Chain A
Amino acid sequence: MPKDSGIGASSKRREDVRFLTGAGNYTDDINVHGQAYVHFLRSDIAHGRIKSVDTSAAEAMPGVVRVFTGKDFEGVGGMPCGWEVTDKHGAPMQEPPHPILAQGKVRHVGDPIAAIVADSLEQARDAAEAIDLDIEELPAVIDMKAAAQDDATLVHDDLKNNICYDWQLGETDDAKVDEVFANAAHVTTLDLVNNRLVANPMEPRVAVGEYKRGTDEYTLFTTSQNPHVIRLLMCAFVLGLPEHKVRVVAPDVGGGFGTKIFHYAEEAFCTFAAKACGRPVKWTSSRSEAFMSDAHGRDHVSKIELALDADNNFIGLRTNTYANLGAYLSTFSSSVPTWLHGTLMAGNYKTPVIQVNVKAMFTNTVPVDAYRGAGRPEATFQLERVVDKAARELGLDPIALRRQNFVTQFPYDTPVALTYDTGDYNGTMDKLEAAADLAGFAARKAESEANGKLRGLGINCYIEACGIAPSNIVGMLGARAGLYDAATVRVNATGSISVMVGAHSHGQGHETAFPQVVADMIGIDESMIEIVHGDTSKIPFGMGTYGSRSLAVCGSAMVKATEKVIEKAKKIAAHLLEASEADIELKDGQFSVAGTDKSVAWGDVTLTAYVPHNYPLEVEPGLEETAFYDPANFTFPAGAYACEVEVDPDTGQVSIEKFTAADDFGNIINPMIVDGQVHGGIGQGIGQALLENCAYDENGQLLSASYMDYAMPRADDVPFYGVDHSSQTPCTHNPLGVKGCGEAGAIGSPPAVVNAVLDALNSGGKAVDHIDMPVSPSRVWAAMNS
């Protein structure tokens, strides 16, 4: 029986009422009295040496408050990187400076050179046109393999080369790996590209900086997934401000997908300029600006080799990846191709020997950082493509080959640093086979063929490490931050509850799902509970939302804080009921004395906490508790996906006819929200697989700089999804047994789509090994005709 409230109920998303009726409060809705506007003059070349920036004419233009250049920021810090990766020789990564405004050189199209603050945005833009730039153009470093050559032009003159780090994980003994491959019965090799993406949240980035001279206090309103992290980075590393004097507010945020985790120069600029100009300063990114200033995602070029023995067991895996970091290190960029990618190379399989090699490259492109899945999609894509290719080469059923190699004993220590706590990959695959009606595929294929279309079936498994993460472990791996989270449960006198959480909701539905948990624990109606998030002046210090961590980490903190509240409330109830605390039970919002009919309601207890006339003297008045929670391990959601495509052999057009996802997310709080998260993730994965392509030409000009050339998935590009999450092995180490579902779809779908297209082409008589994403009509046609 589906529940109609509490844990397990598909409660309707309460936040949608305001979003869908135009009553949301996004950062661009915030206007501060007297605000000025900033326009950033951005580089239109990829690489150049700044000879001079003459702002004198611009400063004299009507409405101009002040013009800033890199010189104005010589005394302050640059944009920090939050993760130090150690290379395979034990040396720290090369970490070049990242100034707020360009100093000395411009390094990508979109690099900000000057910032013009004016009474109106149009005046600021007029003044930008009056700035006289003298920039000597330098050769652009675009291709990663060329960038790694000894004689390559340097993106950063002070570094020894363009390689940020040369990193390795897994088996360190090359000879041992060579031996495994030499002794293999079969080796499958694949070269592939994980295409660069632009996240494109519906809401572009916005920042409003405000400074109050009377109290020496700053406020930054910004489109962020983690306001406390922004405050810490900006105060401690960039501007040198005392944290208690700075408030960061991230109100309603219209999608993030990772790209709003990072601390961006525009945020620090608006905060700095608000004081420097004596006026609030607002920046609203245009869509064109977003294409060249939001951190991009993915962009790996990889070679993967899989060794199998004569019985088709996976015996070795080796990868060599070039990962593009762009021109500067964005906040978490260095962790993505390493600890979020290499650690996932075991996938769902018990391959005993794995070696992952990653060269991270500086190029004259927009910085690259985490995008929905962050590293895990890149790992899954390589692995699941090579497994699929191996099955084809060996004439094996791709499902049987996967099943044969699944990890089946838990906990399982992978050769790449993780311990999977629980899972049931065969069980999840069973669910997929049923939900996707794989038995009916042959008939559907015959029907497609009768209509002149090729039909293919693509299978894919994934595992992800979510709920990031145990602070002590990530600290050892180079993180410069902890990754716990926090919640304060504030019970009001009349029994309603405000829960202040460190997680940030920007589409995930926390405002609905989190109250379901607290309501269940106390036995009161969900509507009595409200979530407060996104304002450092209101919430405890939390790390924000990314890596499918909100429920697993922040939700756990909320459970702990609620437990503390209940414990205290029981003391008060015991006093009111003149019973022993140990005999008090809480059920359906009533405290009762076990074995009697004596009870007192939740509301009476909460009122007593704040009007403590008849009250236990040893207990403090009030009812408010905070808990911080640091997880013991990652969580490991896993799943199996099936995609069916039709390919038009005349044009190469691919259409997705059927897509089924079987996921194991552990326990589920709100199935409808989980469905929605999976749908959205698959939609983005299909976007990557079929449509999206952030492309540069050899001069570093962005070819896909607007929606005229950057293809986002639209409703009619995707099918109705079949989603099954009845395979549930609860996480073993967090109180809710939850694993996280936000990234799964984006991780699991791209290889499923590409595997399906290749199955279609091969079953149509073409021997096509691989097509790089996006698998666009022109690429499919070219592959069919090569």
Chain B
Amino acid sequence: MYSFDFEKPSTVADAVAALGAEDAQALGGGQTLIPTLKQRLAAPSKLVSLSGIAEMQGVCVEDDGSLSIGGATTHATVAREAAATYPALAALAGQIGDPAVRNRGTIGGSVANNDPAACYPAGVLGSAATIVTNTRQIAADAFFEGMFTTALEEGEIITSIRFPVPQVASYQKFLQPASRFALVGVYLARFADGVRVTVTGASEDGVFRWSEAEEALNKEFRPDALMDLRINPANMIADLHGSKAYRAHLVSVMTKRAVEACM
């Protein structure tokens, strides 16, 4: 990697100040960023570690019943501490990577990175969560803007993410055999006011809502409701691990399994 300066502030304000330097970059768990640096694919002047900021850590239940997760909270912590209040989200966190990745990687890093095959974006969008940054609150529906792009501004930090807790939810992940990211992952959350179905891994545009499935399930919440529903493969990813048609097929299968898991 190229050399860089390193800072580890203890408050969000100090982190924001440190990120003001030209070409400074936030460092979460480093599970994406460090390999990128090792391959010399990025050359930040300074890394600002977010892991020493107490206010960005941990999982808590807000007064309105929603679950608030600090932006620097690791996947392992979410898997453990959200298990009672939001089991589907905890299960999603528990399926990310391996123990080493889960003990380092953070929710803020994953959501900011918005890898088209990452798990959290499906959970965040599927839960209609709110991304809280040092300057504003962004609804999930307005946050994910396509693969590796989000509504975040330069230097903006995800300080926490607030998840309304659905009545029932399920994340169904079909593993890409090599990376074990999602070849296709479907997050289904059923709220009092409707169902949300989000898909990761499948689309050239990154995570998306499958609105036809949502409509069908709002009419009738059972696996058969999806029977005649097919998703258009045109925008799907095609690579070594699966064609467009295969991914489109998996979206149906995983959605059906998610419904079954919620019955």
Contacts and interface: CB of A to CB of B under 8 A. Distances in A.
A778 B241 CA distance: 7
Given A707-B178, A709-B240, 9 more contacts: A652-B246, A690-B177, A693-B240, A704-B178, A704-B240, A708-B178, A708-B179, A709-B178, A711-B178
A437 B92 CA distance: 39
B179 A707 contact: yes
Given A693-B240, A778-B246, A288 B174 contact: no
A68 interface: no
B58 interface: no
B178 A778 contact: no
10 contacts: A122-B1, A653-B174, A703-B240, A709-B179, A774-B177, A776-B177, A777-B183, A778-B242, A781-B249, A782-B246
Interface residues of B, number: 19
Contacts of B40: 125
B39 interface: yes
Interface in A113-168: 122, 125
Interface string B176-202: 011100010000000000000000000
Contacts of B242: 777-778
A174 interface: no
Interface in B235-254: 239-243, 246, 249-250, 253
A650 B240 contact: no
Most buried by B among A125, A691, A703, A778: A778
Nearest to B178: A711
A778 B243 contact: yes
A651 B240 contact: no
Contacts of A776: 177, 241
Interface in A666-724: 690-691, 693, 695, 703-704, 707-712
B225 to A, nearest CB: 17
Contacts of A712: 178
Nearest to B184: A651
Contacts of B243: 778, 782
Interface in B129-171: none
Nearest to A708: B179
Interface residues of A, number: 25
A774 B241 CA distance: 10
B131 to A, nearest CB: 26
Nearest to B247: A778
Given A693-B240, A708-B178, A782-B243, A288 B253 contact: no
Interface of A: 122, 125, 288, 650-653, 690-691, 693, 695, 703-704, 707-712, 774, 776-778, 781-782
Contact of A781 (B177, B239, B246): B246
Interface string B100-139: 0000000000000000000000000000000000000000
Contacts of A690: 177
Contact of A288 (B3, B39, B249): B39
Nearest to A703: B240
B246 A711 contact: no
B177 A711 contact: yes
A301 B179 CA distance: 27
Contacts of A653: 174
A288 B3 CA distance: 21
A651 B249 CA distance: 8
Contacts of B2: 122
A693 B253 CA distance: 25
Interface string B221-263: 0000000000000000001111100100110010000000000
B42 to A, nearest CB: 14
A390 B249 CA distance: 33
A691 B246 contact: no
A651 B177 contact: no
Contacts of A704: 178, 240
B116 to A, nearest CB: 13
Contacts of B246: 652, 777-778, 781-782
A651 B250 contact: yes
Q: 9 closest pairs, A vs B, by CB?
A: A711-B178, A778-B242, A711-B177, A708-B179, A778-B246, A650-B253, A709-B178, A691-B177, A703-B240
Interface string B55-89: 00000000000000000000000000000000000
B115 to A, nearest CB: 11
A651 B178 contact: no
B74 to A, nearest CB: 21
Interface string B1-29: 11100000000000000000000000000
Contacts of A703: 239-240
B154 to A, nearest CB: 26
Nearest to A691: B177
Contacts of B253: 650-651
A124 to B, nearest CB: 12
A711 to B, nearest CB: 4
Contacts of B178: 691, 704, 707-712
Contacts of B239: 703, 709
Nearest to B181: A708
Contacts of B177: 690-691, 711, 774, 776-777
Contacts of A777: 174, 177, 183, 242, 246
A703 B238 CA distance: 13
Nearest to A650: B253
Contacts of B183: 777
Contacts of B174: 651, 653, 777
Contacts of A691: 177-178
Nearest to A693: B240
A704 B178 CA distance: 9
Contacts of A695: 240
B151 to A, nearest CB: 26
A224 B85 CA distance: 54
A652 B243 CA distance: 13
A101 B178 CA distance: 32
B236 to A, nearest CB: 12
A782 B249 CA distance: 11
A427 B222 CA distance: 55
Nearest to B252: A650
Contacts of A652: 246
A777 to B, nearest CB: 7
Contacts of B3: 122
A774 B2 CA distance: 38
A142 to B, nearest CB: 15
B30 to A, nearest CB: 17
B182 to A, nearest CB: 13
Nearest to A707: B178
A211 B3 CA distance: 32
Contacts of B39: 288
A224 to B, nearest CB: 27
A774 to B, nearest CB: 8
Contacts of A708: 178-179
A572 B102 CA distance: 66
Most buried by A among B40, B177, B239: B177
A652 to B, nearest CB: 8
A40 to B, nearest CB: 15
Contacts of A122: 1-3
A778 to B, nearest CB: 4
Interface in B26-65: 39-40
